[in-house]
A and B are shown apart, each in its own frame.
Chain A
Amino acid sequence: MKTTPTLGQVLQARGVSRRGFLKYCATTASLLALPPTMVPRIAAALENARRPSVIWLSFQECTGCTESLTRSASPTLEGLIFDSISLDYHHTLQAASGEAAEAARHAAMEENMGSYLVLVDGSIPLGNPGFSTIAGISNYDMLMDTVAGAAAVVAIGSCASFGGIPGAYPNPTGAVSVRDLVTDKPIINVPGCPPIPMVITAVLAQFLTFNQLPELDKLGRPKAFFGQTIHDRCYRRPFYEQGLFAESFDDEGARKGWCLYKLGCKGPITYNACATVKWNQGTSFPIESGHPCLGCSEPDFWDGGGFYKPVSTGDFGSGAALAGAAAAGVALGVAAAAVSRRRQAKTIKEG
């Protein structure tokens, strides 16, 4: 393997101070719910880590996940660390194209066989290989070919994790998630539409530090970030408890920042770190901007019954079905009474 600079050297060359670096390590440790004593270990591991080879595959996606990582207002430390990994293939970001790009992917795979990471955004269409191709290769073939020699796969965003918007009803392309196809490699799902950049880099940092995958929940998401609901950590939670709710987007409750539960907030059933890590360098998160949580890090959030429908509402099917049930009840009642009357008349007649 060729000699590559360590992450520490890369960051130093980019002008990241020791203080800034340790601050990042401390934040990562706290995000991963690790004790402060682990901070030096994270720092040492990250400083000395060779740049891991990362192959980023983009399938049926909107590039929002890549935007989330790269479009920060100013370069953040996690952004720099992300830059510092050896991103050997990313067809949106790389300069090479066509055969040269594919050659880069194969070269990275051969050089780092068994140790490279595959990051995937976007879902994979199974309906027809022609629905989504890169350099004439179907998404399915490219995924299976690339993950064969990978150490682990990170599914970035809800499309790669659960099928996402391409997989929404009626799923015209037959879109599936990475986990639906890859069964013999460790997979970390980092869902969100898009996912929080800090969460992506913290997952990578943990992998580099401990050379192991984070603890995952039943949906394959790191528990450190997806262990609590948005509702659990929402700053508007006290209003929920007091029964103070915004009824519309422009009423007094909305202006006073009351709970958005009645406006369809999916915070109670959505596991993500938005309420604590926040977005845009910790500026805010959707609820803070006055919009209910859409539940974008949950499977099938697009088909979840309406963004503005409150969590506690049910689905009763059509009004016609309810009317049908009522009519059936009336018919049964009248029939039961008729049978009873006939029996009664018979009894009277027989004396």
Chain B
Amino acid sequence: MDLLELARGPVIQIAVYVLLIGSLWRLLGILFLQQKPDFSEPRQAGGLRGALKVIWTRAFTAPVFKKATVYSKVLAYTLHIGLFVTIFFFVPHIVFFTDVFGVSWPGLPNNVIFLVGVITVGVALALLIRRITHPVLRLISNFDDYFSWFVTILPVVTGLIMPIRFGVRFETLLAIHIFSVALLLVWLPFSKLAHTFLVFVSRGTTGAILERRGAKT
């Protein structure tokens, strides 16, 4: 079994199993937690409405914080959009998803993806520098933050190297790229990267509670 077969076979298989088990474990573990009984009279009904409202409104910064957070907000949005575009609009990736889920969608030209990938890595570096240089942010950062940054950006870097090659064989680079994705998938459910699926749960829960209490969200 060569490196690519190992990556495409057992390694990615195990990574997907871990992702699946870990994500469901964490998600259901939280959803089935004992809810604190709320004996107050609900001021407004419709928990779901409040949940969806907060999921939407928290996507934007409150006017009062706009000036203070504009730098990190723009960078964070660029990073997330960059990751989304490179993951879901690069044609070989679409082929991968089609094979798994059976649905296909149009992709973007490779040079566009390459450009977006470079921007994504640049933005991630800017965010890392900010994390290291900002005194408060540095204080509240732990291993999880740095390692999560590393495993997120590693697949982008290993993907960007593929067309350049640096004299390394294509299948070796592809195997390394898949290994880096496997690392991300394994790390994701057990780290701060779990916000991929928990972000809407936490925001939705907050929204539902606030809506019940009649708060302006």
Interface of A with B (CB < 8 Å)? 229, 231, 240-243, 245, 247, 261-262, 268-269, 299, 305, 309-317, 321-322, 325-326, 328-330, 332-334, 336-338, 340-341, 344-345
| Residue numbers in A under 8 Å from B174 (CB-CB) | 268-269, 311-312
The interface residues of chain B lying within 8 Å CB-to-CB of A309 are 99
Contacts of B170 in A (CB 8 A): 229, 231, 268-269
Q: Are A242 and B17 in contact (CB under 8 A)?
A: no
Looking across the interface, which residue of chain B has its beta carbon closest to that of A303? Answer: B5
A241 touching B8, Cβ below 8 Å: no
Q: What are 19 A-B interface contacts by the 8 Å CB criterion?
A: A229-B170, A241-B111, A243-B110, A245-B91, A268-B170, A269-B170, A310-B92, A310-B95, A311-B174, A314-B96, A316-B100, A321-B17, A322-B16, A332-B21, A333-B28, A333-B32, A337-B30, A337-B32, A340-B33
Task: Return the chain B residue nearest A321 by Cβ.
Answer: B17
Question: Which residues of A are found within 8 Å of B12, using beta-carbon distances?
Answer: 314-316
Assess whether A332 is in contact with B13, with CB atoms less than 8 Å apart.
no
C-alpha spacing A313/B174, complex, angstroms = 11
Does chain A have a CB within 8 A of B40? no
Contacts of A231 in B (CB 8 A): 170
Residues B11-40 near A (CB distance < 8 A): 12-13, 16-17, 20-34
- Which of these, A240, A313, A329, A334, contacts B20 with CB under 8 Å? A329
Q: Report whether B25 and A261 are in contact in the complex, using a CB–CB cutoff of 8 Å.
A: no
Count of chain B residues near A, Cβ 8 A? 40
Quote the shortest CB–CB distance from A108 to chain B (angstroms): 38
- The answer to whether the Cβ of B107 comes within 8 Å of any Cβ in the partner chain is yes
Given A242-B110, A261-B91, A341-B34; A326-B27 close (CB under 8 Å): no
Cβ A329 vs Cβ B21 within 8 A? yes
Give, as a whole number of angstroms, the nearest-CB distance from A220 to chain B: 15
| Chain B residue at minimum C-beta to C-beta distance from A342 | B34
The answer to whether B95 touches A312 (Cβ under 8 A) is yes
B28, A313: Cβ atoms under 8 Å?
no
Q: Are B95 and A261 in contact, with the CB atoms below 8 A?
A: yes
B176 to chain A, nearest CB (A): 14
Q: Is the CB of A315 within 8 A of B8?
A: yes
Contact B9 A315 (CB under 8 A): yes
A332 touches B24 (CB 8 A): yes
Name which residue of chain B comes closest to A329, CB basis. B24
In contact, A337 and B21 (Cβ under 8 angstroms): no
Is there a chain A Cβ closer than 8 Å to B125's Cβ?
Answer: no
Task: Please determine whether A329 and B34 come into contact, CB atoms closer than 8 angstroms.
Answer: no
Which residues of chain A are within 8 angstroms of B34 by Cβ–Cβ distance?
340-341, 344-345
Contact present for B29 and A337 (CB under 8 Å): yes
Q: List 11 additional A-B contacts (Cβ < 8 Å) besides A340-B29, A345-B34.
A: A241-B109, A243-B110, A305-B8, A313-B8, A314-B12, A314-B13, A316-B16, A322-B20, A328-B21, A329-B24, A337-B31
Chain A nearest Cβ from B14, distance in angstroms: 10
A329 touching B22 in the complex, CB below 8 Å, given contacts A245-B91, A262-B95: yes
B185 to chain A minimum Cβ distance, whole angstroms, is 11
**Given the complex, which residues of A lie within 8 Å of B32, measured CB to CB?**
333-334, 337-338, 341
* Complex Cα spacing A241 to B92, Å: 11
Smallest beta-carbon distance A330→chain B, Å: 5
B105 → A minimal CB distance (Å): 12
Q: Which residue of A lies closest to B108 (CB)?
A: A243
CB distance from B205 to the nearest CB of A (A): 15
Task: Tell me the smallest distance from the CB of B78 to a CB of chain A, in Å.
Answer: 22
Q: For the complex, what is the distance from the CA of A338 to the CA of B12, rounded to whole Å?
A: 31
Q: Which residue of A lies closest to B110 (CB)?
A: A241
A285 smallest CB distance to B (angstroms):
19
Contact of A312 among B13, B29, B93, B104 (CB under 8 A): B93
